[in-house]
Amino acid sequence: MRMGLLLLSVAAVLGSALPGQATAQSRCETQRAQWSGQAFANVISIYSLEWAPFGSSEWGWGTYLPLIQKEIGTDCEPGTSDFAAAMAAFQTRYGLTATGVFDPATFNVLRGVLQERRPFVMARVRDECPEPPPLRELGYLEAPEEHADRLTRLLRRDVLDAYRRMVAAARAEVPEIRADPELLQIFSGFRDPEADAARCAAERNCDGLRRAVCSPHRTGTAVDLYVGQLLGMGVDSTHPDSRRHMSQGATYRWLVKNAGRFGFVPYLYEPWHWEWVGTASGTGTP
C-alpha cells in the first residue's frame, strides 16, 4: 500500500511540472536514452529508501540532496537522466560500480570525501585534539550576528571576517535571506573546551553525534548558523524531519553552493554546522 501511494505521488510530481520546471527538466534529460531507468529508480528511492546513515533510521535521502548535487556536479533533480549520468561519473571517479543510482555505498564515499576537507576531522583521525586559539585571536560578534536561541560571543577574528563577507553576499543574492535578519545568525561559535567537556559529561553524550569531548568549536573556526527550523523543534534538532526541512530551504542551498567561496566547508549530518578552512574549497558545478 505504501509503495503504491508512493508511485502515485512520484507520477504526479513527474507529470505536473510548471512551464519553467518543464524547461529545466528537458535541459536535464539529454541522457534519457541511457539513464531513464536509473532516473526512475532515483526518484523512487529519494522518498522510499529505508536506511540508517548515521545510526538512526531515516526514510529517503532528500536531506542530503543539495550536497550530493554539488559534489557530483549537477543541479538536475534525481528524477532526470542527467542526474543519473552525473551520479555514474562520480561513482566511476571513486572506484564504485557506475550504476547511476544512489545507494548507501555511494553515500559513504561522499561522506568520506567531505570529512577529509575538514582539518579538524583529520586531526582527530591522528588522535590529536587541536588547542584553542589564544584569546587575543578571538573577536566579539555584534548583537545582530547572535541568535537569540543560544547566545555566543566569540569567534576567531579571521573567521569572523569571512563570515561577515559571506553573510553580506548571501543577503545581496537571496531575497529570502535579505528579508529575514534571523537567517545566518550564529547560535554557536567558539566554545571554551573546559566548559564544553563539562556540558558533554552532564548530557552523557560525550564523543557522540551531538556533543564531543573534543569539539571543533574549541578552535574558533566552527560556526552553527541559523538556517530555519521546523515548528516545535530546535535550531539544532537532529530529528530527520528537522534536518530535511533545513536542507530544503533557500538559505542552506545557497550555503552549499557558495560557502566555499569564503572558505567554509559543511558537516554532512548537521545543516547548520560549517567550518572555516581558510581557502575556497568544494567541487562540482552548482
Q: Could you tell me which of 122, 116, 191, 200 has the C-alpha nearest to residue 156? A: 191
Beta bridge partners of 223: 274
Q: Cα 172 to the chain's mean position, in Å?
A: 21
pLDDT of the residue at 97: 98
Write the burial class of residue 67 (CB in 10 Å: 0-12 exposed, 13-18 middle, 19+ buried).
Answer: buried
Q: Which residues contact 46 (CB under 8 A, 6 or more apart)?
A: 60, 61, 62, 65, 78, 102
pLDDT of the residue at 211: 53
Distance CA 62, CA 57 (A): 14
Mean pLDDT of the chain: 88
Q: Where are the beta strands (DSSP E) in the chain?
A: 50-51, 58-59, 138-140, 154-156, 186-188, 222-225, 264-267, 270-276
Rounded average pLDDT over 119-135: 93
Distance CA 37, CA 241 (A): 28
pLDDT of the residue at 215: 87
Going by DSSP bridges, is the β-strand pair 58-59/50-51 parallel, antiparallel, or unpaired? antiparallel
Is the model's pLDDT at 151 over the cut of 90? Answer: no
Task: Rounding to the nearest 10 degrees, give the CA dihedral for residues 132, 144, 265, 193.
Answer: 20
- Cβ–Cβ under 8 Å, residues 284 and 71: yes
- Cβ–Cβ under 8 Å, residues 183 and 227: yes
pLDDT of the residue at 206: 61
Is the model's pLDDT at 5 over the cut of 60? Answer: no
